[in-house]
Amino acid sequence: MASAAPTATRTETDSLGSMEIPAEVYWGIHTARADANFPIAKRPISVYPDLVRGLAMVKQASARANKEIGVLDAERAGLIDAAAQRVIDGEFHDQFTVGVIQGGAGTSTNMNANEVITNIALEMAGREKGDYAFLGPIDHTNRSQSTNDVYPTAIKIGLSLNLRSLLEELDLLRRSFLGKAGEFHNVLKVGRTQLQDAVPMTLGQEFHGFATTLGEDQERLAENAKLMFEINMGATAIGTGITTHAGYAPAVLKHLRAISGLDLSTATDLVESTSDTGAFMSFSSSLKRNAIKLSKICNDLRLLSSGPQAGLGEINLPAKQAGSSIMPAKVNPVIPEAVNQVAFAVVGADMTVTMAVEAGQLQLNAFEPVIAHSIFQSITWMRQAMWTLRVNCVDGITANEDRLGAMVGASVGVITALTPFIGYAAAAALAKTALLTNRNVADLVVEAELMSREEVTKQLSPARLSGLEAVTSAIPIVLPEDMIQI
């Protein structure tokens, strides 16, 4: 059997020694070492394209700033700029191979970006990959920078970009619930508190409540996103700005704002900003809030659709999968169940972020890789969960109007709407009678000569029962002994 032809390589050297790197790849020795050292998550940083774009934006802005302040010549700055733009545009993302979980406070990620962008630039210049004497990953692409300002800044930019798509999907889901609220606006049902029958409402009001709570989360997420706009570029290693020109920080901020389109600002205390990761914890917490509320909605959808014969059976969820390998015709609420599980994962990720933020020591938090991974994963999973909930569930929900109407008619809770006219004591007595005799409340009120049939019908209309039409009549005094016993 013939042996495989040897793969062409190039030799790269760092402070630990030399390694052979496949000639065709754009990453280099630092990335190769990280790939060997951190085969943990089996997920490269390229699974989060917005993080890769954030890294490239920082490198592009730095090249422009370094050229502006005169610490990098126009030719090299231009090559880095052009190479970074290609990454921003979506090229070469497969070359970002280091794992999402890594030691070194993100140094491997920063060097992965430095090496890939450098080798793209070298190729564009007509030179061989690895010709670092002409253009180097550290001396040129990483000029005026440190992992400790590049990495958190790239994460913040990436999260800001990523959040846009989440907010778009969240708004689509909100609108889907609003559409159902309109569709069900006149469908009466029994409301419930503590899982017990309460007063009537409309199914439309229930779905409108779902839409409203999601809209509130849109606002909270957008507010917390602003925490991502404070960056520490120019801080370098610990916030003192060592190795940077005095004009670098304002110059890189200016270019980064233009490139990203974000309202970024430089932290007033770069030492504090380099060591503090509290903004990530607040951002993660807002994601958890959204996930929990979304999970509560899914709990309600599962409960409202339970049955279909022996449960509430008020709504029908679209049938998406056979529900059992043994029970024929069984269909389960698989879409809400999947969203519930995403919510559980987001809660766990938020705890991870919290512990990682707490574990920071002195001038740096070494655990930003797991912070970044946890938040990016939460956004990604939540966005996809919202999509499937909208497309595969909410848009296809129908109401069991006959069943809902029957339950309202049989519910003693409707008598609450008559208390302004017959008084609480009389209403309580009639409610008890209705429960004991299983009779219709409206019939009992008319038979007790407390209200006419016309008055009862008017007050038990969908508009009155759901509170859409106000009741302002005076309450007459009706004592229990004045009532006709049924």
CB 203 within 8 A of CB 189: yes
Distance CA 414, CA 402 (A): 17
Residue 344: Cβ within 10 Å count: 12
The answer to whether the CB of 287 falls within 8 A of the CB of 346 is: yes
What ranges make up the beta strands (E) of 156-211? Answer: 188-193, 196-202
Which H or E run includes 134? Answer: none
Beta bridge partners of 322: 331
- Amino acid residing at 333: P
Annotated catalytic residues are 324
Of the candidates 425, 407, 378, the one whose C-alpha atom is nearest the C-alpha of residue 465 is: 407
Distance CA 441, CA 443 (A): 5
- Does residue 412 contact residue 429 with C-beta atoms inside 8 Å? no
**Phi/psi at 192 (5° precision):** -140, 140
* Distances from the Cα of 140 to the Cα of 64, 119, 277, angstroms: 12, 12, 28
**Nearest-CA neighbor of 354 among 274, 282, 432?**
282
Question: Is the separation of the CB atoms in 137 and 114 below 8 Å?
Answer: yes
- Owner of token pair 């005076």: 474
Q: Do 374 and 354 meet the contact criterion of CB atoms below 8 Å apart?
A: no
What is the per-residue DSSP string for 28-88? -HHHHHHHHH--SSS-BGGGSHHHHHHHHHHHHHHHHHHHHHTSS-HHHHHHHHHHHHHHH
